[in-house]
Amino acid sequence: MPVHINDEILMNVEKPARYTGGEVNSVARPHSPGTVSFAFCFPDVYEVGMSHMGGQILYSIINNREDALCERIYAPWTDMERLMVENGIPLYSLETKTPAADFDILGFTLQYEMSYTNILNMLHLSGLGIRRSERGEDTPLICAGGPCAFNPETLAEFIDFFLIGEGEEKINAILDVCKLKKQKGLDKAAALRLMSGIEGIYVPSELDGCYDADANLTKPFPRTIQKTIIKDFNDAPYPDKPIVPFINIVHDRTMIEIFRGCIRGCRFCQAGFTYRPVREKTPGLLLKEAEEKLNSTGYDDISLASLSTSDYSALEELTDGLIGLTEAANTSLSLPSLRADNFSMELMNKVQKVRKSGLTFAPEAGTQRLRDVINKNITEEDMLGTARIAFEGGWNTIKLYFMLGLPTETMEDVRGIADLAKKIKQIYRECKNPSGKTLSMTVSTAFFIPKPFTPFQWEGQISVDEMTRRQHYLGSLLQEARIKYNWHDFRLSRIEAIISRGDRRVGRAIARAWEKGCKFDGWADHFDYEKWVGALEECGIDGDYYAVRERNEYEILPWDFIDIGVRKSFLADERHRAYLGETTKNCREECTACGAACFGGGICFDRNQN
């Protein structure tokens, strides 16, 4: 039976539109015994989840099937959760207000490790056991995917199966198994055996026998799980009628994904390796997609989505075509994820054709030595030249992103961040900026977090005391220069690092943290470091073992049974090159034989045909 939410409840929450549904282009279809029901679950608030393009893609694919339906569930904010508990209201979907426990599958996207306690909380609010072992045959299958699923072991105790790789490639196969489960009356074990036969599917129960009672790995993994990818990105499905929210969301615009993957190979960046090889859509298809989305949504801003927008090989042709669309509709064009080494006056003029916004660049490190270590492959001259082009073109707002605590970083490198920012500020003084306004510059820093499947996956994170020292030192330098400084909570970075390289033992600490009241950990006003420290201690876990300890290149890592195509030996070689200060060319300049060519498609495929 659908859940009834009365007006009195909605009148007493901060943003009622988070919980009502009924948005433009949303799809509400009746549930029936012959229809597979899938709930796309995003473990954060509506405004964050509605900005996730992957959810819109899966929503469209599933709802295009006659024998399946997809609805959305987001984490209720604390005010709504309190009222739901007080009134006995279970977690429900937006489209038909169906209780989460009544769906055939609940699919969680793993975008950020610090949302994991929200997953457990959402299961609890659904009336379901948080652990696999606590859920019976009459409960939904719980699956998860997304970028953080490349290390699934921290959530293995809670999730029935994971999809490793790109969800749109195998979602129909998953739905087919669920349909067969309903038709044949299969139990969960039988359905999961069928799921494990799908490429990219990992079923944690397969590995249960490899662990002892203390969650220590005692046997080798029985098989390798190869990630699944869309080889020809021109065939990648997209929603031609995205859902349009009633309230402002984080990315409140039309999003066009122009390519997937990255040619660069920054040694700290997980996405740059897990999404290899690079696969692009042709400009013609992208223009068609843009026109369809503008017509069906009414947005006044188009944003191009990718890991590095200015690396799209046909960017000039695409932007020329998009300008034709945007000028006619008085719509602006946003080009995020630009690089400082290929930013031009021509590109800048296209960006500001309709509406001018601020510019954001990510030098990541303050000195050339450290930029070479991380393989950023941009120079100080690139960044200063880009700043000059932008300022002379009328921009007066710029944001710079850096990391603290990168491998081999010294205090000289930290000072280099302030020195670079001051040089950019000086360039603004020298330029004749048409706006005549004062420069608005912000420097933001986050702490390095070692991520699986990167050359730095073996590195240790600096200690909390050292994080504090470096952050305060940089802050004092920027304060002297009167440059605004934003920083990431170092304590949050510590917990994220523990989870990022964690195993099933860390999963127990996640559960304990949730039991102690942790949720919305990615929100500064909700993150409780002391509760996390207590949870780790109560579970007998040394956080430094996971975060600070440098891993041996020969030890078995919790994610070693997953094959992303990029060889582990290649990642180790890149790590060695980092310590030598040697850079590696990008994939367009030279193939480094990382292993991703095994998937075909993209740059690897094109090169191997020649």
Lowest mean pLDDT among 118-122, 430-434, 586-590: 430-434
Q: Are 490 and 471 in contact (CB under 8 A)?
A: yes
Instruction: Establish if 428 belongs to a structural domain.
Output: yes
Locus of tokens 């610090």 = 114
Quick one: pLDDT band at residue 511, thresholds 50, 70, 90? very high
- Asked whether residue 344 falls in the same domain as residue 201, the answer is no
- Pull the structure tokens for residue 474: 């940089």
Residues 126, 265, single domain; the answer is: no
With contact defined as beta carbons under 8 Å apart, do 486 and 443 qualify?
Answer: yes
User: Total structural domains in the chain?
Assistant: 2
3 state DSSP class of 46: helix
pLDDT at res. 431: 87
Tokens of 335: 């080009």
In this predicted structure, what is the pLDDT of residue 340? 66
129 & 258 share domain:
no
- Considering the domain boundaries, does residue 518 fall inside one? no
Angle between helices 504-515 and 490-500 (to 10 degrees): 130
Q: What is the pLDDT of residue 347?
A: 64
Residue 244 lies in a domain: no
Is residue 161 within 8 A of residue 149, CB to CB? The reply is no
Cα angle: 231, vertex 320, 25; to 5 degrees: 60
Cα gap 95→507, rounded to integer Å: 32
pLDDT bracket for residue 344 (50, 70, 90): low
Cα 163 from Cα 183, distance rounded (Å): 23
CA distance 530 to 314: 50
Q: Tell me: the pLDDT tens digits for 533-559?
A: 999 999 999 999 999 999 999 999 999
Q: Report the chain's terminal Cα–Cα distance, integer Å.
A: 60
Whether the Cβ atoms of residue 8 and residue 41 lie closer than 8 Å to each other: no
Q: Where are the beta strands (DSSP E) in 381-422?
A: 397-404
62-74 confidence digits (pLDDT tens): 999 999 999 999 9
Is the pLDDT confidence value at 607 over 60? no
Q: Work out the number of other CB atoms within 10 angstroms of the CB of residue 129.
A: 15
Asked whether the predicted pLDDT for residue 444 surpasses 90, the reply is yes
Domain identity same for 86 and 169: yes
Of 207, 226, 245, the residue that ends a domain is: 226
Let me know whether 312 and 221 are in one domain.
Answer: no
| Residue pLDDT, tens place only, 80-127 | 999 999 999 999 999 999 999 999 999 999 999 999 999 999 999 999
Closest CA to 597 of 606, 588, 586: 606
Residue type, 328: A
125 and 15 housed in the same domain: yes
Residue 591 has pLDDT above 60, yes or no: yes
Same domain (yes/no): 338, 476: yes
Which segments of 452-562 does DSSP mark as H helices, in order?
Answer: 464-480, 490-500, 504-515, 529-538, 543-547
Are 348 and 459 in a shared domain?
yes
Residues 364 and 472 in one domain: yes
Residue type at 388?
Answer: R
pLDDT at 609 over 60: no
Cβ burial, residue 609 (10 Å; 0-12/13-18/19+): exposed
Q: Are residues 289 and 218 in the same domain?
A: no
- The answer to whether 268 and 456 are in contact (CB under 8 A) is yes
Exposure string over 547-571, b if 16+ CB within 10 A, otherwise e: bbbeeeeeeebbbebbbbbbeeebb
Helix-then-strand count for the chain, H and E: 21, 17
Domain boundary, last residue among 209, 226, 243: 226
Q: What's the pLDDT band for 223 if we cut at 50, 70, 90? A: confident
605 within a domain of the structure (yes/no): no
Domain span including residue 115:
7-226
Say which CATH number the domain at 217 has. Answer: 3.40.50.2300
Beta bridge partners of 404: 447
Confidence check: pLDDT of 320 > 90: no
What pLDDT does residue 610 have? Answer: 36
Please, what is the average pLDDT of the chain?
A: 92
Are 271 and 152 members of one domain?
no
For residues 91 and 344, what is the distance between their CA atoms, to the nearest angstrom? Answer: 49
Q: Is residue 177 part of a domain?
A: yes
Task: Evaluate whether residue 510 is within a structural domain.
Answer: no
Q: Give the CATH number of the domain where residue 287 resides.
A: 3.80.30.20
Helix (H, G, I), strand (E, B) or coil at 301: strand
Do 446 and 589 sit in the same domain of this protein?
A: yes
Reading the block at residue 212, the tokens are 């002892």
φ/ψ of residue 323, rounded to 5: -60, -35
Neighbours of 86 (CB within 10 A): 9
Cα dihedral 44/47/49/55 (nearest 10): 170
Burial 515-541 (b: 16+ CB within 10 A, else e): eeebbbbbbeeebbbebbebbbeebeb
Instruction: Please give the Cα distance from 230 to 234 (Å, whole number).
Output: 9
Specify if 504 maps to a domain.
no
Task: Supply 507's token pair.
Answer: 């999963």
Distance, CA of 76 to CA of 129 (rounded, Å): 18
For Cα atoms 319, 322, 324, give the angle at the middle one, nearest 5 degrees.
Answer: 115
Instruction: Give which of 189, 184, 218 is closest to 204, Cα–Cα.
Output: 189
pLDDT tens column, 447-479 = 999 999 999 999 999 999 999 999 999 999 999
Residues pairing with 202 in the sheet: 162
Mean pLDDT calculated for residue range 126-131: 98
Among 226, 243, 266, the domain-final residue is 226
Q: Check residue 600 and give its pLDDT.
A: 72
CA 274 to mean position of chain CA atoms: 12
Cis peptide leading into residue 152 (ω within 30°): no
Residue 559 falls inside a structural domain? yes
- Check residue 338 and give its pLDDT: 67
Q: Supply φ then ψ for residue 164, to 5 degrees.
A: -95, 110
